[in-house]
């Protein structure tokens, strides 16, 4: 059973929603860098304040900060884990690969949740998180296209990428993910 997973997709694709359900059902550690960064922001720390400024513009937070957050959680994990929102660019993907080689926990499956921009924008505006306004959403989508989408080819070439249609009801998408991961 695959227990070292990554969910990939544009903002609003449903990564967090599906990762939550999946981790509850299969008892994996849900590692969402977005949630971890928002916790840091809520703590009011200096790092959190810096991160908030960047997140509110829809830009990517500095790689070192994100890596340090993820590293601690992965190194101490004895069961399975699911990465959500990380890696976000090629540099983070290379750093993840080095870390996983070091701790001898290779990535076993990547799920790409695909959905057209028009549906994403509607969903995100309906949610209304601090970074869910038209200007910031458009920046997040642009950054996804430029920096994150090259990871699709990277994982496809490794033969571990599964593509899922994210434009369906939550339970339908969930079943498709389970099937794609052989559950
Ligand atoms: P992050 O929190 O990762 O945000 P994101 O990638 O923009 O993803 P979202 O949470 O918006 O979307 P999602 O795909 O998880 O969808 P969700 O399930 O929530 O990152 C936020 C910021 O943090 C970044 O911009 C960056 O600044 C920083 N950051 C994070 N990670 C970083 C990293 N690695 N490096 C650098 N910076 C980083 O669903 C969205 C909405 O749609 C919800 O309302 C949900 O209820 C609804 N929905 C979900 N599925 C369905 C469905 N099937 N049908 C109808 N509605 C649905």
The pLDDT score that the predictor gives to residue 76 is 86
Q: Which residue has the higher pLDDT, 47 or 58?
A: 58
Distance in angstroms (rounded) separating the CA atoms of residues 168 and 111: 16
User: Using one digit for the tens of pLDDT, what is the confidence trace for 10-36?
Assistant: 999 999 999 999 999 999 999 999 999
Nearest CA to ligand 1 atom 26: 60
Residue 13: both structure tokens together? 């694709």
Spell out the domains of the chain, with CATH numbers in brackets: 4-180 (3.40.50.300)
- Nearest-atom index, ligand 1, CA of 124: 41
With a cut of 90, say whether residue 176 has pLDDT above it. yes
Binding site membership of 10 for ligand 1 (Cβ less than 6 Å): no
The pLDDT score that the predictor gives to residue 77 is 86
Beta bridge mates, 164: 113
User: Using one digit for the tens of pLDDT, what is the confidence trace for 103-143?
Assistant: 999 999 999 999 999 999 999 999 999 999 999 999 999 99
Residue 54 phi/psi, 5-degree rounding, is -70, -45
Distance 64 CA to ligand 1 centre (A): 21
User: Rounded to two decimals, what is the model's pTM?
Assistant: 0.97
- Which of 7, 10, 16, when mutated, tests ligand 1's pocket best, judged by the most ligand atoms within 8 Å of its CB? 16
Nearest CA to ligand 1 atom 40: 12
pLDDT over 90 percentage in the chain: 93
């Amino acid at each position: 059973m695959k227990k070292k997973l990554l969910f990939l997709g544009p903002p609003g694709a449903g990564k967090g929603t599906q990762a939550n359900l999946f981790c509850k059902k299969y008892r994996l550690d849900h590692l969402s860098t977005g949630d971890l960064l928002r916790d840091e922001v809520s703590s009011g720390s200096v790092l959190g304040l810096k991160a908030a400024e960047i997140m509110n513009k829809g830009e990517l937070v500095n790689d070192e900060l994100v890596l340090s957050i993820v590293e601690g959680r992965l190194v101490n994990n004895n069961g399975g884990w699911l990465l959500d929102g990380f890696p976000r660019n090629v540099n983070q993907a290379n750093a993840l690969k080095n870390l996983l080689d070091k701790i001898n926990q290779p990535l076993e499956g990547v799920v790409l949740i695909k959905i057209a921009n028009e549906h994403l924008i509607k969903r995100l505006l309906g949610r209304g998180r601090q970074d869910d306004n038209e200007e910031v959403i458009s920046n997040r989508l642009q950054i996804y296209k430029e920096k994150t989408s090259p990871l699709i080819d990277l994982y496809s070439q490794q033969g571990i990428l599964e593509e899922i249609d994210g434009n369906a009801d939550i339970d339908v998408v969930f079943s498709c993910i389970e099937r794609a991961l052989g559950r």
